[in-house]
Structure 1
């Protein structure tokens, strides 16, 4: 039973994303499906993407949506820093600052951040790793956005990401693959893994909401001609794998696998303890 559960865990979290990557590669990267989808979004009269020069669409779909992942990351950083304050104050209870904070509403906030320090640190590390992975891929593939290529009136050549990928040397100019805007929403998958760790009953709904948000973020950039549809899929795949591996390192498989509440004794104390 334990081996079966482990197999299902890795199949769902690693096998399915890799299978999706293979499907995306064959369906999009080996065909012209990306261009066919983008061609449907062109204005017949001008030949340009319908929403490319719409300032309100740009603000509503590109500028303002950044607030959600940005604020989540910033709150995680603040929570991580505050989590180290309470233990320091507890060592010196005689200090006036310690007595003041314990007597105000700030005290419970500091205790909360200390109790969930591991989760705050996980969010900070995972956000940084996801951003780093996407930046690395952009820098080492050198792919231009659709509107920058000769296919849609630009000057740069169209090429596939695997044709110019390099492990160590940075590729020439062009930073469009995978989708950066979509990846910013997908980084919220880190919050899903925190919810999964605590076996929150609405964790699956949160997962669906984050995935939908990522596709909305990515699709709006496709409508503007700044990305192909496959860029969104690739962003989601890489962010998922990064956040999942990071969660394994922070929490361990049993916590993420959702052992029933009556079986917490099977999970190591270091994993169950939130402090």
Structure 2
């Protein structure tokens, strides 16, 4: 599944649609919605605080589960909390090493940087501030996609709802940042894939650990 999802950001990149979409939202004078109150204070600041609050609650639920999480084994609760934190951390790590600048930094939108593919951003600077790929804010929603892997076996119905909410939140947050000129759509799509890949990798690691423990017990 994770490999199949990789096709979406790759096809978007191959189509070169980032600038075409961004030009519908901004122009030489910049992005009209860059400082929009709802986008900055609600869908950025408040949404980020809510995401961290949920992450904290999941960490607490490892030891003190509530509601349906009481039906989840300890290892799965640990996986649920850990996978989201790791997904956010991996996105932040990748972002810190990229020279790709945000749309609002580009000359086409009133900035100074030149447009280049985020793939080139690993090789040289575009003349801007950089550190804009992938989309860090969208990971506040997409990071919880990783939790689907922890829930799907023991709580399949909750897992389906969890996945839908995480994807919806990530897309809304990613689109909000795109409207402000903070990211291209490819940044959001790659964040979604990275978070899913981290969830899959953590799930595989926990499965391997359980097999080792069962083998040792036998």
Asked if Structure 1 and Structure 2 have the same fold, meaning a TM-score greater than 0.5 normalized by the shorter chain, the answer is yes
Alignment of structure 1 residues 178-197 onto 2, 5 Å:
178-197=134-153
Q: How many angstroms does 1:202 deviate by?
A: 4.6
Distance 2:46 2:172 in 1: 13
Q: In the alignment, does 2:44 pair up with 1:38?
A: no
1:74-113 matches, cutoff 5 A: 74-80=56-62, 82=63
Aligned CA RMSD, in angstroms, stands at 3.0
State how 1:1-275 maps to structure 2 within 5 Å.
13-27=1-15, 31=16, 33-42=17-26, 47-80=29-62, 82=63, 116-165=73-122, 173-251=129-207
Q: C-alpha offsets along residues 216-244 of structure 1, whole Å, 9 cap, x if unaligned? A: 11000000011111111111011111111
- Looking at structure 2, the residues matched to 54 and 163 of structure 1 have their Cα atoms a distance apart, in angstroms, of 31
**TM-score in terms of structure 1 length:** 0.66
- Matched-pair contact (CA < 8 Å) for 1:176–1:227: yes
Offset, 1:150: 1.2
- Are the equivalent residues in 1 in contact too, given 2:9–2:186 (CA < 8 A)? no
Please, which runs of 5 or more residues in structure 2 have no aligned partner? none
Structure-2 separation of matches of 1:133 and 1:227: 18
The change in CA–CA distance for 1:208 and 1:78 in structure 2 (over 3 A counts) is closer
The alpha carbon displacement at 1:63 in A equals: 1.0
Paired residues of 2:146 and 2:198 also in contact (CA < 8 A): no
RCO higher in 1 or 2 (8 Å CA, sep ≥ 6)? 2
CA contact (8 A) 2:144 2:166 kept: yes
Tell which structure's C-alpha radius of gyration is larger: 1
Q: Give the Cα separation in 2 of the matches to 1:115 and 1:230.
A: 35
Rate the CA distance shift 1:211–1:153 in 2: closer, same or farther, 3 A. same
Deviates more, 1:210-219 or 1:46-55: 46-55
Unaligned residue ranges in structure 1 (runs of 5+): 1-12, 84-107, 167-171, 253-266, 271-275
Aligned residues: 207
TM-score, scaled to structure 2:
0.81
Checking the alignment, whether the CA contact within 8 Å between 2:18 and 2:186 is kept in structure 1 is: yes
Distance 2:4 2:72 in 1: 34
Compared CA separation, residues 216 and 120, structure 1 to 2 (3 A): same
Runs of 4+ in structure 1 off by over 6 angstroms are: 112-115
Change in CA separation of 1:138 and 1:115 when aligned onto 2, cut-off 3 Å: closer
